[in-house]
Every structure is written in C-alpha cells, then in structure tokens.
Amino acid sequence: MAFVLSEEQQMLRDSARSFANEKLPISQLRKLREKGEGFDGTTWREMAELGFTGVLIPEEFGGSNFGYLGLGQVLEAQGRTIAASPLLSTALIGASALVIAGSQAQKETYLPQIASGDLITALAVDEGAHHDPSHIKLAAKKSAGGYTLSGDKRYVVDGVEAGLLIVAARTSGGESDTSGITLFLVQGDAKGVSRTALKTLDAHAAANISFANVEVGADAVLGTVDAGFATLEQILDRARIGLAAEALGAADAAFEMTSEYLKVRKQFGQLIGSFQSLQHRAAVMFTELELTRSCVGAAFAALDANANNVAELASLAKARAAETLHLVSNETVQMHGGIGMTDVHDSGLYMKRARVLEALYGGESFHRDRYARLGGY
C-alpha cells in the first residue's frame, strides 16, 4: 500500500502550510483565547475559498473529491500552528458522515453547504468523562412525527457554533449495548437544544450540549435505525486519523522549534546542542516522529483504498501520535528551560494542545487496548 504524495498532494500540502503560517499563526490563537472565541470566521471563509472544506466532498456536491490523504496534509499543516478552526469537525467528520451514511436528500442539502463553508458540523457522542462510544444513554423515543431526543452530551468539539449536530442516540437496548444506537442529524438551533461553551485548556472551541425533548423527523436519521454503531465507528476512525495528523503536525513543529533553540542557546560558554545528552534526546524525538509519520500516512492511504484494516490502523496512528506528541511537547518545555514554563513562550501552548489531542476520541491506552482486541488478543 503506497502513501507517497502525488504532485497534486504535495501542492496541496505546500498551499496548506503557507496558509497556516500566514493566516493561522499561533498569535491568532492567542487573540482568540483573549476574546473567548473558538475560531475566526473570516479565516474560515478563506479556507473554504481555497477548497479545504470540500476536499472529501464529491464534485457533484461542490467539492473536489481529493481524498483522505489530501485532507490529511491540510490537517497536519493546521496542527503545526495548533490552529483553532472547525476543519476536523466539519470537513472531515461531517463530510465523512454524510458521504458514508447520508441519504441522497441529506447529501444534496448539507454537502454543498459544507463545501462552501456555510455550514459547521459537530459530532455529539460522548456522555462521560472518558471516550466510550458504546455507552449511550441519550434516548430517542419514537413519536408521531419522528423521534424525541432527551439527554446530554459532553465535550462536543466545535459544538458552540455548529449549525448541524450529528448525535448518537439510543433507540433500543441497554446503555452499553452496541446494538440499538442510531445517528441523527439535529439542527443546532432546534427547540430544546441548549449549549454551554467550555473554557478549554487549549483555547479550542467545545461545548456541553443538552437535548430536552428535541423533536426531529424520521428523515433526520443518518443511516439505519438501531444499527448506527458500525457507522459511528467508521466516522470516529476517520476523526482519530485526522487527529493523529494534527498531532503529527504539532509534534513536528515543536521539534523544529526545539532543534533551532539547541543551535543558539549557550550555557557554560557552549551551545547546548553540543551536549551529548541533549543530542540523544533529540535523536529519540526524531525517530519517534518518523515512525508516527509512517503510521499516519498508512492510515490515510488505507482510507483512500477502502482497505479492511482501517480500524486497526486508526488506533495504531492515534496511539502512536498521542505518545509522540506527549514526548515532544514535554521535551520542548524542558529543553527551553525557564522560559518554556511561561505563557509568553509558545512551547506551553503546544503542551496544552497536546494533552487535549491525546484524550480526544480515545487516549493512548484506549487505542492500545482496541488495537489488541481487533487483533484477536
């Protein structure tokens, strides 16, 4: 399975990196944090104009259908500047959900809006403190006009501004059964939907969302009633691989920043990069980054090839990326010394983003266990 970038994918990567450096620098994240805003609307529209929001969307719905490996280059570039944008929740998760399980009417309604940047989506799945997609209590009861949704979702990424919520609800079975889960498309401004914006560690948008007797029609079902878990896992695996790409980009940028610091910082009259112990630590980071790059590339290539081992590669990529980013973000702070512990320096922002990326949609231990179970252990 090849995952070498084509000439077009390389051009997309270069365009995405240039855009991230110019329009999504870390200084913008600091401004958004001060304002209490999740992302910049003007920058989001520019991303849509460049086609970033429609990379996965078929041409008939206004996208470019450029594939997952192509979108991965954009996500990695965004990760390098730890940018805050709804790209993952909308261009990857929302678009994938509709392409995988959407009816023709749902695709015609929502995919063009995603491609144009007019619609932001959010996946509402977790209800507890830790990621557990099979543990769904939010109830969807059959009603005369469709279904009535009641329950709560926690830490919904980009849930504050989302115009369309993809909600995992229980239509039958016990709260930990994988059967009996159904996915619904719920309008963000529907009656009974209330959102509480969260002040997050990494200054990225997230919300807790409550559903109080929210009425939706039968046409709001995404996929098949009671059989939504398999679709949810497909959507989550794409989200996990996308997060792994972001983590790879963040780790790569943090490593480059640290390497440059080792070349200019002097102690005891010598460049600290000449100290063998620091050289060894830098070498470990480099090798871990290259291993992670291979895992992430293989996962995206498997998605584009519609391979049968996507789930295994998704967990492998997410676990490896989480471990690598944890290591590199820690080393970045430590090797910068005292200034690395201050908010003035960017190293602390990478560490904070790292801790969130590690936990989203399953941490390292979750995915190591899942990888083993998928392998029959």
Mean pLDDT value of segment 278-303: 95
Please report the DSSP string for 256-312 in residue order: HHHHHHHHH-EETTEEGGG-HHHHHHHHHHHHHHHHHHHHHHHHHHHHHTT-TTHHH
So what's the pLDDT on residue 271? 82
CATH number of the domain at 354, please.
1.20.140.10
Do 148 and 26 share a structural domain?
no
pTM (global) more than 0.85: yes
Do 369 and 252 share a structural domain?
yes
The Cα 350–Cα 329 span in angstroms is 6
Of 205, 226, 247, which closes a domain?
Answer: 226
What is the percentage of the chain residues whose pLDDT exceeds 90?
89
The Cα 32–Cα 7 span in angstroms is 35
CATH number of the domain at 130, please.
2.40.110.10
Q: Which domain does 326 fall in, by range?
A: 229-374
**pLDDT at position 274 over 80:** no
So what's the pLDDT on residue 341? 81
- Do the Cβ atoms of 345 and 336 come closer than 8 Å? yes
The Cα 150–Cα 254 span in angstroms is 43
pLDDT: which is higher, 175 or 294: 294
Residue 317 in domain: yes
**pLDDT at position 278 over 90:** no
**pLDDT at position 22 over 80:** yes
Kindly report the CA angle at 292 between 253 and 304, in degrees rounded to 5? 105
Residue 210 in domain: yes
Which of 56, 98, 60, 91 is closest to 221 using CA atoms?
A: 98
- Point out the least confidently predicted range of 11-25, 110-124, 276-290, 328-342: 328-342
So what's the pLDDT on residue 102? 98
Q: State the chain's mean pLDDT as an integer.
A: 95
Residues 6+ apart with CB under 8 A from 308: none
Q: How far is CA 38 from the centre of its chain?
A: 14
So what's the pLDDT on residue 5? 84
Do 356 and 253 share a structural domain?
yes
pLDDT: which is higher, 113 or 38: 113
So what's the pLDDT on residue 3? 60
**pLDDT at position 220 over 80:** yes
Q: Based on the structure, what is the number of domains in the chain?
A: 3
